[in-house]
Amino acid sequence: MIRPLSMLFLAVCLFASGCQSAPGPDNDATDDFNGLAYALVLHGGAGAMSPDQMPEAVQERYKNALDSALQAGLDTLEGGGSSLDAVVRVIMYLEDHPLFNAGKGAVFTSDGKNELDASVMTGHDLNAGAVAGVTDIKNPILAARAVMEQSGHVMLAGRGASLFAEAVGLELVDPAYFFTERRFESLRRIREMEKHGTVGCVALDRAGNLCAGTSTGGISNKRYGRVGDSPIIGAGTYANNRTCGVSATGQGEYFIRWTVAHDISALMEYKEMDVESAAKKVVLEKLVEAGGEGGVVCLDALGRPAMVTNTSGMFRAYGNSEGERMVAIF
């Protein structure tokens, strides 16, 4: 069952354009807000969706999964774990859940395969790791962390990433592990229409450190070794203790070209915008003008969230050390 939602989060801003943003605690806070001990925000993808097209039973399945992932991350932070540990734990849970387009639930490429991407970044030192186009690493987010912590590189791709993952002791699986009938049927239905989806998480720990991570199965029916924004630092993932952590979901080509995740951080650093204003500027103005669809989840250095999308829905959840929490789709 979903735990009671804080009344603070029940107000979701709906814009005439169909864009939406879910405000967090004291996003218009005065200078006496000293920050939260810890906080965590996550997403499970964004896109065109409506309550009428998604039966209540299906909505509950997604909400329960999001809530369980949120709780796993909050438990890590409550116990004194790092933001990196929390982000990886949340994303692993979502990668292992077939409802989401990451890991086990990854969509299929045009030739009926699964190709996975992931990245992670820590805000205290701007260190980062990523993998792209992997086909046999059970949890790509673990491989991204290993690249960050156990190699001199930022990104490894394809077979090289798998060899590295095997060398550092990560679990490899037969590519058939990622096969789900639901996703394969989806490929059959949408040969002429791309589908998007990603999972991601941003956490602030008790030491005041931010971390952001993102993982995806890409877009259904993709071709030619396409890689989107999820493993690209500054596009789909970014974290900086001076400003914020960001995880993005949507049309990756636009998020890469407009360096969405870093742009939100840059607006905060150079224009002194708050996290929600910066996220809205990028997602609801810049991306919309460019024709890009998608959303972001963010945390600033005090744990205040921004959950902004220019689509009709985004799977998302937020919780913090004060006991405030929310889970939402629309």
- Beta carbons of 261 and 286 less than 8 angstroms apart: no
Whole-structure pTM value: 0.90
> Is the pLDDT at 17 greater than 90, yes or no?
no
State residue 233 phi and psi, 5-degree precision.
-65, 130
The residue from 198, 216, 249, 259 that is catalytic is 198
- pLDDT-wise least confident of 20-24, 111-115, 146-150: 20-24
Average pLDDT over residues 174-201: 69
The string of DSSP codes covering 32-55 is T----S-EEEEEEEEES--TTTS-
Burial class (CB in 10 A: 0-12, 13-18, 19+), 186: middle
* Residue 138 DSSP class: S
Mean pLDDT of the chain: 89
Q: Annotated catalytic, 198?
A: yes
> Is the pLDDT at 269 greater than 90, yes or no?
yes
Q: Which pLDDT does position 52 carry in this prediction?
A: 92
- Other CB atoms closer than 10 Å to residue 25's CB: what's the count? 19
* Residue 175 DSSP class: G
Domain 19-24+37-328 fold: Glutamine Phosphoribosylpyrophosphate, subunit 1, domain 1 (3.60.20)
Average pLDDT over residues 11-17: 33
Domain ranges in the chain are: 19-24+37-328
pLDDT cut 70: percent of the chain above it: 86
* Residue 283 DSSP class: I
Distance CA 324, CA 71 (A): 12
- Other CB atoms closer than 10 Å to residue 317's CB: what's the count? 32
pLDDT digits (tens, 9 = 90+) for 288-306: 999 999 999 999 999 999 9
Average pLDDT over residues 10-27: 41
> Is the pLDDT at 321 greater than 70, yes or no?
yes
Q: Which pLDDT does position 126 carry in this prediction?
A: 98
pLDDT band at 111 (very low <50, low <70, confident <90, very high): confident
Q: Which pLDDT does position 31 carry in this prediction?
A: 58
